[in-house]
Chain A
Amino acid sequence: MTLSTDQVRHVARLARLAVDDTDVPNIAQKLNGVMELLDTMQALDTQGIEPLTNPLDRTQILRPDEVTEVDQRAHLMANAPAQKDGLFLVPKVID
């Protein structure tokens, strides 16, 4: 499958990546090189094969639903790019 420049813009929007209009053709060209590789999968008939999601075919391990973490608030907030009164700051969302 080949991605058009419009599709590249659409996928970039879904992925929350800003792309410069002048870069779109180049991005599309490199992506289509990758898609060519991926499309070689279509030659194999896989009907009825159960998809493998965990390589060990195991289910995820559950643990008791108990609070085990200590309060890390100060450490975690130290990495915030913008904060005030212990809250994350973002641009105004509602006018």
Chain B
Amino acid sequence: MSLSTQTLKSQLQALSSKRVSSVELVQEQITRAQAINADNNAFISFNADGALEQAKQADQARADGSTQPLLGAPIAHKDLFCTQGQVTTCGSKILQNFVAPYNATVVENLTQAGAISIGKTNMDEFAMGSSNENSAFGAVKNPWDLDRVPGGSSGGSAAAVAAGMVAAATATDTGGSIRQPAAFTGTSGIKPTYGRCSRYGMIAYASSLDQAGPIAQTAEDLAIMLGAMASHDPRDSTSATEGTEDFTRDLGRSVEGLRIGLPRQFFTEQLDDAVASTTHQALAELEKRGAVLVDIDLANIDLSLPAYYVIAPAEASANLSRFDGVRFGYRCENPKDLNDLYERSRSEGFGEEVKRRILVGTYALSASFFDAYYVKAQQIRRLIKNDFVAAFEQVDLIAGPTTPTPAFKLGEKTDDPSDMYLQDVYTISANLAGIPGLSIPAGQVAGMPVGLQLLGNYFDEARMLGVAHQFQQITDWHSRRPEVSL
């Protein structure tokens, strides 16, 4: 089997034992990714020359005795992270020529750890979407079935990992944008606790919800990636002081006696029957190893969807006001006055879903409706957090489906925004509460992958990754890969 389709850990072992050089591995990975990209559009841009130059330096550093944890390993960044000197589009026409003047902290941390980015992955514009169809650079296709969506907004990162274009990629999750695409593509992804990874240099969508995390084939690879990505950062005013830690420390820990809560509200009629039985079968595997399954209630969880679709658009409408056609980004032709410059630059530069969320957010923040929508949503957010805090007094982890259905067809939900929003029904509450959540492959329905979601207590990522790793020791869903034509 080619090294380019193996796990990050296998690649790192091959590099450290000098079975392969970074130049060889990076070249092989770029060649493969560029060939596959013609079919699935997972990348917006490649940085072949830069990556090969870094690979040469990595090989030299290894020869000089460097032991950086990711030295010479090829990865990719979601095109939402600023990468110095490279175009950073955030999936939008308004930023199609934007050259980032600095690196995001997550990018800087991974570079310091020795990782090499071969390119920038596709995404829903400004991370707004659940299908990757909202990208100004074209939809990403799911490698398991090119007629289906890969999920979103981190659809490019998920498809890239699923198709073996790269072993691991960065991603972001504001309402499920790491976990839902991971579920749809048979990959593993973790959204850490809010504040665990710095938001500095991440193009903002909804600042009180945005959180970076990795997508990879295995929970073990996620632990390796997250250890390098996380840090306390004085340049992000909501960065958690906890910083990073050894997220691999619980990988060997048994699940014997682990109490797993199953929210009754996650197993209702909106959940596809086949996905429900796949989820139960996956949980039964953990039960066989000694985990204890407990039914729990998250009483206010049903209101997480409307609360999110007030808070996220409200924050987005403020964050995206910086795009004015003056200092950077797209500018319309021949503006007749300053207001025309603002209005047409924004209208021509933003896509339909982004404009819709700006309108919803502006409306929710307007004086007459502020209490009815924004304050109300923040109060519901408090109740949802309280539900989780109470639940974690009874159980160690919460588990359930990541999504109500497997990946749907391209174009199937583009006409009805509120139907598309239902995709996030199980993932959104973790962002509102700020708790960590991950998705791992749990099985398949009609040949398409299904994800198992684990939600954990604040800063309990190591324990969650340990449980996910134990699950991957007794199942092989994570190692199944789609057939990809080169």
Contacts and interface: CB of A to CB of B under 8 A. Distances in A.
Contact of A91 (B305, B336, B346): B336
B327 A80 contact: yes
Contact of B359 (A15, A41, A53, A58): A15
A27 B356 CA distance: 8
A55 B432 contact: yes
Contacts of B432: 52, 55
A76 interface: yes
B101 A34 contact: no
A30 B379 contact: no
B331 A82 contact: yes
Q: Which of B101, B338, B416 has the most CB of A within 10 A?
A: B101
Interface in A31-72: 31, 33-42, 44, 46, 49-56, 58, 60-63, 72
Contact of B418 (A33, A46, A52): A33
B226 interface: no
A15 B358 contact: yes
B194 A78 contact: no
Interface string B316-355: 0100010011111111000111111111101100100001
Given A56-B240, A79-B99, A30 B234 contact: no
A16 interface: yes
Q: Tell me the dominant secondary structure on chain B's binding face.
A: helix
Q: Tell me the dominant secondary structure on chain A's binding face.
A: loop
Q: Which of B321, B366, B416 has the most CB of A within 10 A?
A: B366
B469 interface: no
Contacts of A82: 331
A47 to B, nearest CB: 9
B400 interface: no
Query: Which range contains the number of B residues in contact with the other chain?
Result: 35 or more
Contacts, number: 177
Query: Which range contains the number of A residues in contact with the other chain?
Result: 35 or more
Interface in A77-93: 78-82, 88, 90-93
Nearest to B341: A91
A81 B326 contact: yes
Interface in B82-98: 97-98
A81 B325 contact: yes
B194 to A, nearest CB: 5
B362 interface: yes
A72 to B, nearest CB: 5
A82 B234 CA distance: 33
B347 A40 contact: no
B109 interface: no
B379 A50 contact: yes
6 contacts: A11-B366, A17-B343, A41-B303, A50-B382, A55-B385, A79-B327
Interface of A: 1, 3, 7-8, 11-12, 14-19, 27, 30-31, 33-42, 44, 46, 49-56, 58, 60-63, 72, 75-76, 78-82, 88, 90-93
Interface of B: 97-99, 101-102, 193-195, 208-209, 234, 237-241, 300, 303, 305-307, 309-310, 317, 321, 324-331, 335-344, 346-347, 350, 355-356, 358-360, 362-364, 366, 369, 372-373, 375-383, 385, 416-418, 421, 431-434, 458
